[in-house]
Amino acid sequence: MTVRNTLPPRPTSRRALMLQAAATGVLAAFAPMTRAVSADGTVRPYRVHVPEAALEDLRRRLSQTRWPDRETVNDRSQGVQLATLQALVRYWGSDYDWRRAEAKLNAHPQFVTDIDGLAIHFIHVRSRHPNALPLVMTHGWPGSVFELLEVIAPLTDPTAHGGHAGDAFHLVLPSLPGYGFSEKPTVSSWNPDRIGRAWDVLMKRLGYQRYVSQGGDWGAIITDAMARQAPSGLLGIHVNRIERATTVPPEVAKALTAGAPAPAGLSAEERLVFDEIRDFQKNGFGYAAIMGTRPQTIGYALADSPVAMAAWFYDKFADWVFARGEPERSLSRDQMLDDITLYWLTNTGTSGARIYWESMSASEPAAVSVPAAVTIFPGEVYKPPRSWAQRAYRNLIYYNRVEKGGHFAAWEEPQLFSAEIRAAFRSLR
């Protein structure tokens, strides 16, 4: 299925095309998902093709950016620096090629299906190896399925990437509701619990009665929700991001809430984690506070200005990759712009932000008994010791700390990430 523009038939002249785009709003009219998907459980092929008018509108907006004044410091302490963003935007407007990104998506089998009233987009790649283990893998914010593309081949065809046939997976990579080419919710309550239930429906609709789940960022929170729900057939989970609420010891949580010193008796490792949490609360949590309370307000900027969106996302790339402050050392400009452009073209900056607000209505985090595996990447924001992780995962079957990679682990280190997934689930086959 092809993404189709809902605008009237395109005019033939470039001038008329640009006038139409300006007058009607190409991005507002370009729907990330058509409603051709049936509610009867059918699964239909999907292929991405963004209208050229949307790309021309993007370039026009980039060329007409009104820039703010330069920051008054010589570092990132006030946010993304002007010269840095101007260089990225120049490249975006002149040299970046969305059609190449589009081809990367279309190189994999894509589908849509209706679950709980929403059309859900997903990539589904079956391994050629017999007895492959079905795996649903969920992205986070400000990520997308783009961050998972490089692990498809190592996980579905491990023998071609240093692994064994017995390590193969059938992969299902859904786009979160309101992200990418999945439909945007028009009512509230699409929180991690509801998404987790939808993913179980998706896996069983695809014929997978036994499967495992993996996630980072919001994908980890959704994976945790699935583990709490413990649907029949969920064999185990793996996360590369851990929820603090279920792992931090009570005395540590109390000190953090009160702004008090670290409790006595913490090990050197625990004290380091305590200090990192405190620093994040002080200097790194502003984005989540805004989206958790005012997603609609920040959404106006994200929907109207591609440069505002680029700044909002680039700031988190810089904060969360292994190469702190220098995201280009972990991700290429094209990789970052693939993701940013996907959000822009589908106008999902606002709907993507709402998951922070929706999480307020999710169930309270609780420890789970489903077999769980954890990989700690050194660039992650929160890196709890094993003893803390066991507070959340009572049946912790795998815990490993690796030496490189950050919050976007699959994107930054696809080979290492794939090796961790193989090791994490090996005992559940």
Q: What is the pLDDT of residues 4-57, one digit of tens each?
A: 333 333 334 444 444 344 333 343 334 444 444 456 789 999 999 999 999 999
Q: What's the rounded Cα separation, in Å, for the pair 109 and 123?
A: 6
* Token duo for residue 281: 């609360």
Q: What is the pLDDT of residues 77-104, one digit of tens each?
A: 999 999 999 999 999 999 999 999 999 9
Mind giving me the DSSP string for 235-251? EEEEESS--GGGTS-HH
Q: Between 16 and 213, whose confidence is greater?
A: 213
Number of H helices, E strands in the chain: 18, 9
Q: Is the pLDDT of residue 428 over 70?
A: yes
Q: What is the pLDDT of residues 307-351, one digit of tens each?
A: 999 999 999 999 999 999 999 999 999 999 999 999 999 999 999
Model pLDDT, residue 28: 38
- Per-residue pLDDT, averaged over 234-254, amounts to 94
| pTM of this structure | 0.91
Least confident interval from 35-44, 191-200, 336-345, 379-388? 35-44
pLDDT-derived band at 2 (thresholds 50, 70, 90) equals: very low
DSSP SS3 for 173: strand
> Over pLDDT 70: what percentage of the chain?
90
Residues in the chain: 429
Name the β-bridge partners of 236. Answer: 212
- Per-residue pLDDT, averaged over 376-390, amounts to 96
227 Rama sector, left if φ>0, alpha if ψ -120 to 50, beta otherwise: alpha
Output the average pLDDT for the chain.
91
- Per-residue pLDDT, averaged over 187-211, amounts to 97
- Per-residue pLDDT, averaged over 202-225, amounts to 97
Which residues are part of the catalytic machinery?
A: 217, 356, 407
Q: What's the rounded Cα separation, in Å, for the pair 378 and 412?
A: 12
Model pLDDT, residue 256: 94
Mind giving me the DSSP string for 129-175? STTPEEEEEE--SS--GGGGGGGHHHHH-GGGGT--GGG-EEEEEEP
Model pLDDT, residue 159: 96
Domains of the chain by residue range: 103-246+365-428
Name the β-bridge partners of 401. Answer: 376
Q: What is the pLDDT of residues 247-303, one digit of tens each?
A: 999 999 999 999 999 999 999 999 999 999 999 999 999 999 999 999 999 999 999
DSSP annotation of 428 reads G
Model pLDDT, residue 50: 97
Model pLDDT, residue 39: 60
Class of the CATH domain delimited by 103-246+365-428 = alpha beta
Q: What's the rounded Cα separation, in Å, for the pair 409 and 400?
A: 14
- Per-residue pLDDT, averaged over 186-212, amounts to 97
Within 8 A by CB and 6+ apart from 238, the residues are 212, 213, 214, 223, 372, 373, 374, 375, 398, 420, 421, 424, 425
Model pLDDT, residue 362: 67
> Over pLDDT 90: what percentage of the chain?
87
DSSP SS3 for 325: coil
Q: What is the pLDDT of residues 245-255, one digit of tens each?
A: 889 999 999 99
Write down the residue that tokens 């005395």 correspond to: 251
Half-sphere exposure of 124 (CA within 13 A, CB side): 20
